[in-house]
């Protein structure tokens, strides 16, 4: 999971293995500000979420906008 500013700078990255996950992930933990003292500026950010199965090698990618108000 990565978050970028609109200028293309990566501002957050998170990676984790889920070796015994169900075939469908309903949600995941949100640690965007974990370990940081400042909140992100209000505005629009871009995200990329990429998943890959260790069982069969299949993968999926989703991207979109994240709005902080």
Q: 13 or 22, which is more confident?
A: 13
First-last CA distance in the chain: 21
- pLDDT per residue over 40-64, tens digit each? 678 899 999 998 888 888 899 999 9
* Confidence band for 27, pLDDT divided at 50, 70 and 90: low
Percentage of the chain with pLDDT > 90?
28
Report which of 4, 49, 3 is spatially closest to residue 27, judged by C-alpha positions.
49
pTM over 0.85: no
């Amino acid at each position: 999971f990565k978050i970028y500013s609109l200028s293309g700078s990566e501002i957050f990255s998170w990676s984790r293995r889920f070796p015994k996950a169900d075939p469908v992930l309903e949600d995941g933990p949100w640690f965007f500000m974990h370990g940081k003292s400042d909140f992100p500026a209000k505005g629009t950010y871009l995200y990329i979420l990429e998943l890959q199965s260790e069982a069969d090698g299949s993968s999926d990618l989703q991207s979109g906008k994240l709005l902080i108000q």
